[in-house]
Structure 1
Amino acid sequence: MARPRAFDTDLAVERAMSLFWTKGYHGTPLPLLTARLGIGSGSLYAAFGSKDGLYARALEHYCAGLVADVARRMGSGTDIRTALRTLLLALVTDDLADPERGCLLVNAATERAAHEGTVARVRAAMAAVEAVLTGALEHARERGELAPGRSPVELARFLVTFIQGLHVMGNARADRGFLENAVSGALRVLD
């Protein structure tokens, strides 16, 4: 009979996410991971299968939070320009607060581009963000807030790509004025 787990797996995933986010997958050796989580390697393997399994859970946790945040901001009830501006400027603020950390999604896509599971999770998260943005843009079109002929899907895909570019520019230490100007330019695609 297996012993019950002596640690909180959700808390372990949260802590691992923070560590992977700061140090990357390859910069997080197993001894550091187990020390920060306060568990032995046997417990890690029993709960998550491997370091890779824990990374996958941490990335899924991050992605779920990201999609929920975008959905919350886009469902705020304000007009589409205000909602998008608020979302994009919040991302700028977050990136400027900790430029070395950046976005875990961007970090995962670049560090583990050859890992099929990671790439699939990143693509799924981007597709989920795209779906949220597409829905918000479709509602905006119904309310007459979009220029005629503007495709909500094309706009959402542009915005998903732009968001990732914002994160990269934040990592590159672009200043707030530069990033706010880029946000203003991006919002003109709605015209």
Structure 2
Amino acid sequence: MPRKPSYDREDLIRRARDMFWKQGWAGTSLKNLETTLYLKPGSFYAAFGSKDALYQLALDLYAADGAATLAALEHAHGPLGALQAFPRHVIENKAAPARACMLAKTFLELSPHGHPLADHANGHLTRMEHRFADLFGKAQAQNQIGIGHDACGLARRYQSDLLGMRISAERPDYDAAATALEIAQSLSRL
């Protein structure tokens, strides 16, 4: 009879996510993962199958956490308030191992190589863009944003600004908080 694993799988995925987020796919070796997760090679493969499979789980967790954060902000502040608060929230998250978006970093790193994880990251980016469009649509329905704007176009621009801010925030001399405020203020003028 097989032994039950003595580890918390979700905790391992979370720790792997943080390592991948900070170091990227190529910058994280199997040995790094085994050391960080305290797993021997056989246990690693039994738990996850491969580095790519674990990376995909890490991307899924990252995307789910982002969607949950956005939903909580919407619940607390409404649709426009969520869109205004989200940039500041991601920049001020001191627990994050990096400021740049893991999905964007993955896409940029792996798409030139035709790696399937690039497509997976892009799928999450597209779903997040649709979620932003949904929030813009709700804000329009509540007369917080003029109906003359295209919600999908606003979402693309918002996501582009957000990703640019997050990538720039990796620079040591960049004032990401000021940019987050500018994004929020620009939404007030719609």
TM-score by length of 2: 0.85
- Counterpart in the other structure of 2:39: 39
Residue deviations 1:13-35 (CA, integer Å, cap 9, x gap): 11111111222222222122111
- Counterpart in the other structure of 2:7: 7
After TM superposition, give the deviation of residue 103 of structure 1 in Å: 2.4
Q: Distance in 2 between matches of 1:177 and 1:35?
A: 35
The 5 Å alignment of 1:160-175 reads 160-173=159-172, 174-175=174-175
- Counterpart in the other structure of 2:26: 26
The 5 Å alignment of 1:1-191 reads 2-78=2-78, 80=80, 82-94=81-93, 102-113=100-111, 114-173=113-172, 174-176=174-176, 178-180=178-180, 182-184=182-184, 186-187=186-187, 191=190
- Shift in CA distance, 118/160, structure 1 to aligned 2, threshold 3 Å: same
> Greater shift after overlay, 106-115 or 178-187?
178-187
After TM superposition, give the deviation of residue 44 of structure 1 in Å: 1.0
For residue 7 of structure 1, what is the amino acid of its counterpart? Y
Q: Distance in 1 between matches of 2:124 and 2:15?
A: 20
| Alpha-carbon contact 1:79-1:145 (below 8 Å) kept | no
After TM superposition, give the deviation of residue 76 of structure 1 in Å: 2.7
Residue deviations 1:46-101 (CA, integer Å, cap 9, x gap): 12111111111111111111111122213334361x33221122223238x87855
Q: Secondary structure at the match of 2:93?
A: helix
For residue 38 of structure 1, what is the amino acid of its counterpart? Y
Q: Distance in 1 between matches of 2:54 and 2:26?
A: 13
- Shift in CA distance, 78/57, structure 1 to aligned 2, threshold 3 Å: closer
Q: Distance in 2 between matches of 1:99 and 1:16?
A: 11
| Alpha-carbon contact 2:90-2:99 (below 8 Å) kept | no
For residue 121 of structure 1, what is the amino acid of its counterpart? H
| Alpha-carbon contact 1:71-1:132 (below 8 Å) kept | no
Q: Identity of aligned pairs, percent?
A: 26
Aligned length: 188
Q: Secondary structure at the match of 1:147?
A: coil
Q: Secondary structure at the match of 1:165?
A: helix
